[in-house]
Copies of this chain bind each other. A is one copy, B any other.
Amino acid sequence: MKSFIATLMAASLSSPLGLAQPAEPAPLEREVSQGIQRLMAAGLEDNVGLQFVEDLTTEIGPRLAGSDAEARARDWAVAKLRGLGFSNVAVEGFDIPFWSRTFERAEIVSAGGQAMTVTALGGSEPTPEGGVTGELLRYASMAELQEAAAADIEGKIVFLDEGMTRTQDGSGYGVAVRKRRNCAPVAAEKGALACMIRSVGTDRHRFAHTGMMARDGAVGTGTGVAISPPDADQLGRLMERGAVTVKLEVGIDARPAAPSGNVIAEVPGRGALADEIILLGCHLDSWDLGTGAIDDGAGCGIVVGAAKLIADMPGRTKRTIRVVLYGSEEVGLLGGAAYAEQHADELDKHVFASESDFGAGKIWRFQTGFGEGALSYAAAMHQALAPLGIGPHDNSARGGPDIGVLKRAGVPVVSPGQDGTDYFDLHHTPDDTFDKIEPEAFRQNVAAYAVFAWIASETGWDFRTGPVEVEE
């Protein structure tokens, strides 16, 4: 019998590409393997999941956290999930600090009043009556702004002109988000009238990308807006020619508490493991500018579609598949936090979790976040997913935005890595609409989620640790 230590050592040997040598896949029972084949085929022909996104984005449209539209989306989702035959469908409510834009306008006063494509960042303070007008000061990075002297900035409008890198795994986002979060408060602290950032996005279109800035309660410190990439280019060119003055107006509606909620639905397990939960998550809220198709209607369609495929398998699953459509993700991962709090006493029953919140691009690699002793289970999932064109990845998955809190509480997670090359072209813009979803890639996601959730349920494996085999 191969020892656990030997397996670990094999895993630490580097391949020529610098990738860790994978563990031997744990064997699957025949019924589990047959289920995989069936789910994979059915997933690639999914219509339930795709229809779910289409209906949600069409019938409800934008679903701002804490808004009436988000509330309608919860009711809509409850009815839809019951109609699909899910069990224990319920809304789990919580309150959130509410922020919404009411108007936003910007113009380049010094260049004939040219209108700019602008959007307020979530949590922005409004401008005073009549807006603010000031000379623009450009900084190439957040670090540059941090270092700048308050004396230079006071009474001016800060223009933070930092770009974002396009990558397949979306890794450019974390860096770019820093400026979105911090520009307005840092600029305000130094006496600026407002901060205007080059949108956190990778496209070349005349769309401004919204998203949260740092805040405490409903509203943060300072007025923060994003402008489209072509507008940022325009400002850059104008500043090469001389001083630039911009007028900015932002109106908001904010209040300390508004109702939000998570929507939960289950495919109940049977027998001894029925109280163990496989959680598949997504978020139901969206930004207000688009209809929230890639962010994150697609994710909800993927997990609902996959869970429905498993529900349609003959017999009942061993473990319970729980779908969670989180509320208020966009405004601070509030649904994830509320869920963890409301389900604190059953977190140890969460044996596996995954979240889809990166659009509808094809999954190209599969990352696990299992106990060290469960790498052979990761390998078994890699093997099962390979026919879908999905490669292996490492074991450092931290889960998605809303399930990060579960991972930190010890719940094993997987992060199916979608191709996000184009994701930040659309993310948080008016252009995030249903037509941007590519059905073939979407269905590959449904198939993959069905396959790994099925394995997680039917093997009964313990992903926290796995079998620690010791040489006798």
Contacts and interface: CB of A to CB of B under 8 A. Distances in A.
Contacts of A58: 111, 234, 237-238, 241
Given A59-B241, A60-B112, A112-B69, A434 B233 contact: yes
Interface stretch (A4-12, A191-199, A201-209, A334-342): A201-209
Nearest to A107: B61
A431 B230 contact: yes
Interface residues of A, number: 35
Contacts of A229: 435
A125 to B, nearest CB: 23
A112 B230 contact: no
Nearest to A234: B58
Contact of A435 (B114, B230, B429): B230
A433 B291 CA distance: 25
Interface string A432-444: 0111100000000
A33 B433 CA distance: 54
Interface string A22-46: 0000000000000000000000000
A61 B111 contact: yes
A117 interface: yes
Nearest to A430: B206
Interface string A227-244: 001100110011001000
Given A54-B237, A237-B54, A241-B58, A206 B111 contact: no
Given A230-B435, A234-B433, A234-B434, 6 more contacts: A58-B238, A61-B111, A72-B112, A206-B429, A206-B433, A230-B434
25 contacts: A58-B237, A58-B241, A59-B111, A59-B241, A60-B111, A61-B108, A61-B111, A61-B112, A62-B115, A69-B112, A114-B291, A117-B430, A206-B290, A206-B429, A206-B430, A206-B433, A230-B431, A230-B433, A230-B434, A230-B435, A233-B433, A233-B434, A234-B291, A234-B433, A234-B434
